[in-house]
Each structure stands twice: as C-alpha cells, then as structure tokens.
C-alpha cells in the first residue's frame, strides 16, 4: 500500500492540473493501461498494474484505460483458472507469501491486502537494488513478489519488526536495500548488488 499511496499522490497532482479528458489522455500517453482478461460470466480480471488501479480508486477516478489481452468468458471456471496459472496471469499467494485459491482473491480492488514486503521490494527496485529485465524470461514472472518473499524470509536480520515497516518506511527501505545487496540474493532475477542508483 506504500506504493499505492505514492502513485495516488502523483495521480492526484496530474488530475488537479488537467481536465478529465486530458487526464485520460495522460494515462494513455504514459502506458498506464491495465491488462485485462475477461473471465467466465464476463468478469474483468486485471493481470498487472494493480497498484495503479488501486491508486486511481483511492483518488476517486472511476474511468481508466485497459487492454483486453484475452477473452475467456466462455471457459468453465476451473479451466479459466488453470489457464491463468499456466500463463502467469495470476499470483496465488497472500500478503504473507502463503498459497491461496482463486476463491480467496479479493473481488474488488478496494479489498486488496497490504504486503509491506511487496512495498519494500518496489522501493528497492526504485533505488536500483534490482532491475527488471527481459519480461519474456520466466525468471521475471512476479519479480517484485520474488524479492518480497526474499525480504520476508530474511527480515529478522534487520532487527525491525515487520509490523513497523509502514511506519518506519525509510529506515525499512534502507535495511531492505542492504539485504538485497547480500550475496545470497544474487540468484534472484534482476540482482544488482547496489544499495543506491548512484
């Protein structure tokens, strides 16, 4: 949710400077389109850019752009979810990294749970602690979640309680950057060994 808050602040500034029509053009120009798969019963499932979608929801924007990447509205639910998993279009782990079922997924963006380690992974990426590479590589699937799981598994080394990450986000980010630079993180995709972009 830290990443959502940051995006929401940036979007709020853009909304205030533009008309609604110009704001929508801004979203399109900056590739802020959510990829969507149409599932059984015609339900839309966002497969990426959840932070953007939630940030738009938080600032009261009810209109956005999406790109329909697949239409599986005629599929049986079990076949639909198998397709989604086989194509890496759904991540079935909760905010603690535990396996979940499709039925456990929130039905709305407003019900998304906070994973402070996913927020830290985003901050580490922004600070060049790891980088996105070739999206066609299977190692790149859910890159930030892989890093979040690494941070979660090694967090005890930092001495910062997980419940305090959001309230002490700057110091938690610094600790996460140092974890991400350790040699045991080198096997993760995008590893840079850096603790800053400088």
Question: Would you state the pLDDT for residue 134?
Answer: 55
Question: Would you state the pLDDT for residue 117?
Answer: 94
Which residues of the chain, if any, have pLDDT below 50?
136-139
Helices (H) and strands (E) in the chain, counts: 7, 3
- The CATH number of the domain covering residues in 116-185: 1.10.8
Residue 22 tokens read as 């110009």
What are the two backbone dihedrals, phi and then psi, of residue 127, each rounded to the nearest 5 degrees?
-95, 15
Closest to 166 in 3D by CA, of 95, 79, 111: 95
CA 168-170-171 angle, 5° bins: 70
Question: Would you state the pLDDT for residue 139?
Answer: 47
Question: Would you state the pLDDT for residue 135?
Answer: 55
Delimiting residues of CATH 1.10.8 domain(s) in the chain: 116-185
Q: Read off the DSSP letter of residue 96.
A: T
Q: What pTM did the predictor assign?
A: 0.79
CATH classification for the domain delimited by 2-104, as one of 1.20.1370.20, 3.90.1530.10, 3.40.50.300, 3.90.1150.10: 3.90.1530.10
């Amino acid at each position: 949710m830290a990443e959502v808050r940051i995006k929401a602040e940036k979007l709020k500034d853009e909304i205030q400077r533009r008309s609604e029509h110009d704001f929508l053009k801004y979203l399109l120009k900056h590739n802020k389109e959510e990829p969507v798969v149409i599932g059984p019963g015609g339900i839309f499932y966002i497969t990426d850019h959840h932070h953007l979608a939630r940030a738009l929801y938080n600032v009261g924007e009810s209109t956005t752009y999406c790109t329909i990447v697949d239409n599986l509205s005629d599929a049986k639910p079990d076949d639909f979810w198998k397709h989604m998993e086989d194509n890496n279009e759904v991540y079935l782990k909760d905010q603690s990294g535990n396996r979940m079922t499709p039925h456990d997924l929130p039905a709305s963006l407003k019900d998304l749970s906070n994973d402070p380690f996913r927020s830290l992974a985003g901050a580490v990426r922004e600070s060049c602690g790891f980088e996105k590479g070739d999206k066609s590589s299977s190692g790149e699937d859910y890159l930030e979640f892989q890093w979040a799981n690494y941070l979660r598994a090694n967090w005890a080394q930092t001495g910062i309680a997980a419940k305090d990450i959001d309230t002490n986000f700057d110091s938690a980010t610094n600790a996460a950057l140092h974890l991400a630079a350790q040699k045991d993180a080198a096997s993760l995709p995008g590893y840079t060994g850096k603790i800053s972009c400088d």
